[in-house]
Structure formats: C-alpha cells, structure tokens
Amino acid sequence: MLVRRFLDRLSKGNPAERAEIVRALVRVYLESPLDEENRSGAVTALTVILDDPSARVRRVMAEALADSAAAPPVVVRALAEDQADIAHLIVSRSPVLTDAELVDMAGGGYERVRVSIASRPQVNIGVSAAIAEVAGPDACVALLNNPGASITVSALRRMVERHRHDAAVRNALLDRPELPVTLRQKLIDGLSEVLGELVAFHDWLPPERVEKVISDARDKAIVDLAMTCEPARLRSLIEMLVAEKRITPALMIRALCLGNNLFFEDALSVMSGTPVKRVLALLDDRSGRGLAALYRKANLPITSLPALRAVVAVLHDGAVDGTWRTQMRMGRNMIERALTLHQSFTSGEVDEFFALLGRLAAEAARDEVRDETGGYFRAA
C-alpha cells in the first residue's frame, strides 16, 4: 500500500528527510487520482504526522496544504491550533476554514491569530465584524489595510469606539474614503484627548491653558472637516454635534471666520428647528434682528450674540452680491473689523469672544504670511 510505504520511510528519517517525505505525500494526495482506500490512508498518514515532534515537519505540511480547498479539514483544523508560525500559515490562507470557525477563533484566540484572520485574501462581513468587536489595534489595522476585507459601517464604528486613541488604527480608518464624516469627527476627538493627556502628563502647560489650546484645536479640526463635506454629509455631522451638545458659539464664530457659512446655517437650522431657507432669509436682515430671533430659538447664550453679530455684519459688508449666501474666508483685516464692531456692541467690554476673535486674527495673520513667504522652514 502506497501510504504504508510513506509511513515506513517516515519512521526511519531525520527531520529534514521526514519533511521531504511529507511534502511528497501532500503532493500525491492533492494531485494524484487516488482510489478511496489510498485517499483514506493518505488522510490517516497526514493525521499521524500532526504528532511529529519536529516543528519543521509540521510546518512543511502546513505550507503544502495552506492554499488548497481539497486539504483534509481535520488536518487543517489541527494545524490551525499548532504553534504560532504554523497556525499563521493555515489561518491566514486556508479556504477550508469556514466563517463560523474563523469567528470562533477570533473570539477565543490570541491577537496574533486575529491578525492572521484579518490578513486572509478574503474576509467576509461576519468575520470582519468579529475582528472589529474583539481584536486589538494590530488586527484592526491588518483588517483595514486588507483590500480583500468586506467591512460594514457598523464595524468601522466599533473600531472607532474601541481604538480611536491608537494612532495606527486612526490613520488606517482615516484613509478609508467611505468612512462617514461623523466617525471622522470621533477620531478627531480621540486625537485631541490623546494630545491633552500628553501635554498634561509632561506638565508643559497649566491645566486651564491645556484646555483652551485643545478646545481651539478641536474646533479648528471640526471646521476643517466640515469644509470637505458634501451638504448631506455636513448635515449629518452637525446633527451629531448638536445631539452631543458640541455646537458652541465659539465653534460657529470660527466657522464663519473661515468662510464656512454652510456650517453656521445648518447649525442654526438644526438647533432652532428652522428650515434652512428661513434661516437664510433671517440672516439677510442687516439689522441683526433676524439673527437675534434665531439665536433665541436655538437657546444659545445671549452673551455670545454680539460677537456673532459683528462677524455676520462684516461678512455682509464684504459680500460681492450683497446677500448672506456669499462665502468668504475672513482675513486678518476683516476679523479686526469684527473686533472693533464687537466692542461697539458691548460698550467696550472685553469677554471670551473678544479674546477668541483676537486669536483668530493672529491665526489669519500667520496664514497670510505663510502664503506670502512659503513658510519659515521651507524658506530657510
């Protein structure tokens, strides 16, 4: 009997010789037209080889069987539970393993096993969902970087929730064009939290200064993100921010100063429950009464109204067609005009919004200089 001859030779060989015999046996099993008796005997021989004390022999068998759909399931499953490098060959490649088995492995295995699963040529939706739910950052990055992986938005959301503080996961998620804008915002929040913790840990700034710097950075990132959104996606972002009570007068002032009127309009629309067309009509009222009415309906703090009224007035003055809809990024001179107007509305009182406009004027000045000079480091 053919298989018996293989086993006899195996019992007499050293590890290198046994490895070659196993390679030949697998080739016979996969490529030769064996009758039922010899095929059954070959499976028996391969099963016996699972107990070979040499990892080299078992590794050769795993390499030879890894890509074959005809590999014996009992042998494949056993190799998938062997030492890490052998298991990886099978778990990352074998078409014999079912989705149910892969989900079970993801739930009960080590992170290296999950990385192997996430790296398979094809990863179906259910397996991706299991990885997103239980895996660590390494496996999630492997999944996100795998072009053969099918990943639902709910799985992406779970990875954002679990690993938004991990830089590698965050970068891999942000590289995905289908990532919803709401999840992109969650990743920005995660980065802000990490930076805040880092600065606080090293005691680089006083706590209140850290909070202000991080708040400004977060608001700037939100506005930058909003500038890239299509109208429908922008609306979903704003609805999420409103639900989380994240829309503040400071954020709206920053959006206006960067020329993102759409963000301001949609935010007022959502917060006040007013259709956008009606918001536009009220904002076109240069007396400021329309803005004040929207403000009250949106339950925004009345103390911030003078600053927003000043910015809106300056934008009205600079509009090409005289209507609110004209969008324009405010430069340093325009923001300084808003600062002066704000002072006239508040009888010279200095408040947090005056300070915010001052910081925005400084940012605009630096941006203008960078545009003119190409930047210090590039010019040096």
Query: SS3 sequence, 251-288?
Result: HHHHHHHCCCHHHHHHHHHHHHCCCHHHHHHHHCCCCC
| Res 149 pLDDT > 60 | yes
Report DSSP state, residue 303: G
Mean pLDDT lowest among 137-146, 298-307, 363-372: 363-372
Residue 194 scores a pLDDT above 90: no
Give the separation between CA 196 and CA 207, rounded to whole angstroms: 9
What SS3 state is found at 368? Answer: helix
pLDDT digits (tens, 9 = 90+) for 199-232: 555 565 566 655 666 677 788 888 888 888 888 8
Mind listing the pLDDT tens digit for each residue in 283-319?
A: 998 888 999 999 999 999 988 899 999 999 988 887 7
* pLDDT at site 276: 93
pLDDT (tens digit per residue) in 233-253: 888 899 989 998 889 999 999
Tell me which residue of 370, 264, 243 sits closest to 327, measured CA to CA. 264
Residue 375 has pLDDT above 70, yes or no: no
pLDDT at position 92 is 97
SS3 call for 149: strand
**pLDDT tops 80 at residue 348:** no
Ranges of each domain in the chain: 1-91, 98-161, 181-375
Contacts of 61 (CB under 8 A, 6+ apart): 22, 23, 26, 46, 49, 75, 79
Question: If you ran DSSP here, which 8-state letter would residue 318 be given?
Answer: H
Amino acid letter at 370?
R
pLDDT for position 133: 94
- pLDDT of the residue at 321: 67
Determine the pLDDT at residue 222. 87
Q: What's 44-105 look like in SS3?
A: HHHHHHCCCCCHHHHHHHHHHHCCCCCCCHHHHHHHCCCCHHHHHHHHCCCCCCCHHHHHHH
pLDDT exceeds 90 at position 355:
no
Q: Tens of pLDDT along 18-37?
A: 999 899 889 989 998 888 88
The pLDDT score that the predictor gives to residue 202 is 52
Residue 38 CA: distances (Å) to CA of 11, 25, 34: 19, 11, 6
What per-residue confidence (pLDDT) applies to 370? 74
Mean pLDDT, all residues of the chain: 86
Say what the pTM is.
0.68
Confidence of residue 1 (pLDDT cuts 50, 70, 90): low
Residues 281-294 as b/e (b if ≥16 CB within 10 A, e otherwise) read ebbebeebebbbeb
219 vs 43, which has greater pLDDT?
43
pLDDT tens for 251-267 read 999 999 888 889 999 99
Q: Please report the pLDDT score of residue 220 as a whole number.
A: 82
Q: Which residue has the tokens 């053969």?
A: 148
| Torsion of Cα atoms, 78 then 82 then 85 then 91, to 10° | 30
List, in sequence order, every beta strand (DSSP E) within the chain.
Answer: none
Task: Give the pair of three-digit tokens for residue 126.
Answer: 């259910």
pLDDT tens-place string over residues 118-140: 999 999 999 999 999 999 999 99
Report the alpha-carbon distance of residue 360 to residue 255 in Å, rounded. 11
C-alpha–C-alpha distance, residues 369 and 195, integer Å? 27
| pLDDT classification of 320: cutoffs 50, 70, 90 | low
Q: CB burial class (10 A; 0-12, 13-18, 19+) of residue 201? A: exposed
Residue 379 has pLDDT above 80, yes or no: no
**Look-up of token digits 């804008």:** 181
Report the SS3 class of residue 33.
Answer: coil
pLDDT at residue 158 above 60? yes
Q: How far apart are alpha carbons 140 and 135 in whole angstroms? A: 6
pLDDT band at 196 (very low <50, low <70, confident <90, very high): low
- Asked if residue 192 lies in contact with residue 245, where contact means CB atoms within 8 angstroms, the answer is no
How many angstroms separate the CA atoms of 68 and 95, rounded? Answer: 7
Burial of residue 157, with CB atoms counted within 10 A of its CB: 0-12 exposed, 13-18 middle, 19 or more buried:
middle
Greater confidence (263 vs 323) lies with 263
